[in-house]
């Protein structure tokens, strides 16, 4: 690729929002799914759709949200929104994160994968570890029981968090204690080899892996799924060639320093997926209140709807029609481990 000169006026502008993000405690969150949506839509067209939705629903006095669309009687309005005649068809992308799958993938990356997943913004995970995380996520609750499994997930989350005390040994010891509990309770489980691999590591460099996590947590937080989602979003819309201007709903995890690092990682070896311009930035990023930009409101609607459909899939109460309508929007790199009725939502972890 040739070096290019660019400014924000020449960048392709997209609007983004997320639904289901609740901070770094992914193991005990209220929602099991994060959906990150991006759209390329004219601001006037977005405003017209928001006005029409408000008028038809009677919600003229405040921001129209996904919950209003989901509660609309009979469901035709939701089908209209997602369907071929809707505002976002062919102009949107959704990245899904199953929170349990994400933290399991990251803990294997921390202790067994040399940070390949984290360092590549989720774009180049170790395939064997991604498969192991998926198998562990699917088998865990039924194999080990709800309470031991939840205790293991909680310990996993803690060992991945950058606590204020910068503790190294206690979180690592607690995590491997839970590994031992699971291994002892069901030594012949289909995922026993994954637990064996983790148990063997304790004698080598588990503490140093935790130290590395703490050293890099400001710019490369292991527990931040929005960074992989945004990296995939940039690559999808840019094709690696066209600078992108992202207008995003206000989100504390997406700092300017992290955006600059994201840009550098995408451009540098071993990824080399974009070519930085000779002047300026490939990724232009600004945040705004969703109520001030109708495109971000539409992205918010899409994210909220996608999260609800995906959560229903996980809970076994899927609507085949809605799942089919969501299919064209899904990022195949979504972090998804569960066995789903629709294979389109079973993206590789």
- Dig out the tokens for 221 from the structure: 């937080």
Position 248 in a domain: no
DSSP states along 288-318: E-GGG-HHHHHHHHHHHHHHHHHHHHHHT--
CB 111 within 8 A of CB 206: yes
Position 117 in a domain: yes
Position 292 in a domain: no
CB 347 within 8 A of CB 94: no
- Dig out the tokens for 273 from the structure: 């997926």
Position 231 in a domain: no
Domains in the chain, number: 1
Q: Could you list the pLDDT tens digit for every one of the 349 residues in the chain? A: 333 444 566 799 999 999 999 999 999 989 999 999 999 999 999 999 888 877 766 655 556 777 777 776 445 678 888 999 888 999 999 999 999 999 999 999 999 999 999 999 999 999 999 999 999 999 999 999 999 999 999 999 999 999 878 899 999 999 999 999 999 988 788 898 999 999 888 767 899 999 999 999 999 999 999 999 999 999 999 999 999 999 999 999 999 999 999 999 999 999 999 999 988 999 999 999 988 999 999 999 999 999 999 999 888 888 888 889 999 999 999 998 865 444 455 544 4
Position 140 in a domain: yes
Position 210 in a domain: yes
Position 257 in a domain: no
Strand partners, 246: 14, 285
Position 110 in a domain: yes
Distance of alpha carbon 272 from alpha carbon 120, whole angstroms? 11
- Cβ count within 10 A of residue 268: 12
Q: Residue 209 is part of which domain span?
A: 99-215
- Cβ count within 10 A of residue 326: 24
């Amino acid at each position: 690729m040739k070096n290019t000169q660019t400014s924000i006026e020449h960048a392709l502008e997209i609007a983004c929002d997320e639904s289901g993000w609740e901070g770094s405690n992914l193991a005990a969150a209220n929602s099991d799914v994060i959906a990150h949506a991006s759209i390329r839509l004219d601001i006037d067209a977005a405003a017209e759709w928001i006005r029409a939705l408000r008028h038809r629903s009677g919600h003229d006095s405040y921001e129209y949200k996904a919950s209003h669309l989901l509660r609309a009687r009979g469901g035709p309005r939701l089908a209209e929104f997602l369907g071929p005649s809707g505002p976002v068809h062919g102009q949107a992308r959704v990245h899904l994160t199953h929170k349990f799958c994400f933290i399991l993938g990251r803990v294997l990356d921390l202790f067994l994968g040399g940070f390949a997943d984290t360092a590549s913004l989720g774009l180049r995970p170790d395939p064997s570890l991604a498969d192991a995380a998926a198998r562990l996520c699917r088998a865990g609750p039924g194999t080990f029981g709800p309470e031991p499994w939840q205790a293991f997930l909680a310990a996993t989350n803690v060992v991945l968090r950058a606590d204020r005390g910068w503790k190294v040994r206690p979180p690592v010891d607690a995590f491997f204690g839970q590994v031992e509990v699971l291994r002892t309770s069901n030594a012949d489980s289909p995922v026993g080899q994954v637990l064996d691999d983790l148990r063997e590591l304790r004698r080598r460099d588990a503490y140093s892996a935790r130290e590395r996590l703490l050293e890099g947590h400001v710019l490369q937080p292991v527990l931040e799924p929005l960074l992989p989602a945004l990296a995939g979003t940039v690559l999808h819309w840019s094709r690696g060639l066209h600078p992108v201007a992202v207008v995003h709903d206000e989100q504390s995890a997406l700092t300017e320093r992290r955006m600059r690092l994201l840009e550098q990682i995408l451009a540098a070896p071993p990824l080399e997926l974009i070519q930085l311009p000779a002047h300026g930035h490939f990724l232009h990023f600004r945040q705004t209140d969703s109520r001030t930009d109708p495109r971000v409101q539409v992205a918010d609607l899409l994210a909220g709807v996608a999260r609800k459909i995906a959560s229903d899939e996980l809970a076994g109460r899927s609507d085949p029609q809605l799942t089919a309508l969501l299919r064209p929007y899904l990022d195949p790199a979504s972090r998804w481990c569960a066995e789903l009725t629709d294979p389109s939502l079973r993206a590789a972890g």
